[in-house]
């Protein structure tokens, strides 16, 4: 589950909350910009590294990195606040692009969700 907190097309920045089950594994992704992940709840890791993120952990990933996020079990969902700049390209096992997430796709997904749920969309670019 992704909840968009802020989407700023002018800067290419998104702030979002990611909630996932304790057994979740995301597809490998390539990022064009930076990603900062602040763990609020649960334990997870990038399979490419040997550290574990726990509540209070802050992880910085630089432009051009490829990562595979994996929740680390237990009985608690993970909850991570992320600041993403640029594109996230989600890849299959052969490295082919499955999907791209960025400000444009995020805004489209958010507006579609609001429309289908019958709720007014907020202006996510101009939050204060």
**The CATH number fitting domain 2-126, selected from 3.40.50.1220, 3.40.50.2000, 1.20.140.10, 2.60.120.10:** 2.60.120.10
Question: Is residue 13 predicted with pLDDT exceeding 70?
Answer: yes
Q: 101: which residues sit within 8 A by CB, 6+ positions away? A: 84, 87, 88, 90
pLDDT of residue 75: 86
Q: Look at residue 40 and tell me whether its pLDDT is greater than 70.
A: yes
Residue 84: its pLDDT value, please? 97
Distances (CA, A) of 71 to 22, 44, 97, 116, 126: 5, 4, 22, 30, 32
Q: Are 53 and 39 in contact (CB under 8 A)?
A: yes
Tell the burial category of 80 from Cβ atoms under 10 Å away from its Cβ (0-12, 13-18, 19+).
buried
């Amino acid at each position: 589950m992704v909840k968009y907190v802020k989407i700023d097309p002018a800067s290419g920045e998104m702030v979002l909350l990611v909630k996932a089950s304790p057994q979740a594994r995301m597809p490998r992704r390539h990022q064009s910009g930076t990603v900062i992940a602040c763990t609020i709840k649960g334990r997870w890791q990038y399979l490419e590294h040997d550290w574990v993120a726990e509540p209070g952990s802050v992880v910085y990933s630089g432009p051009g990195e490829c990562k595979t996020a994996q929740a680390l079990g237990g009985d608690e969902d993970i909850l991570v606040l992320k600041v993403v700049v640029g594109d996230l390209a989600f890849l299959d096992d052969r490295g082919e692009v499955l999907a791209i997430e960025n400000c444009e796709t995020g805004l489209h997904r958010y507006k579609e969700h609001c429309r289908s749920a019958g709720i007014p969309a907020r202006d996510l670019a101009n939050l204060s």
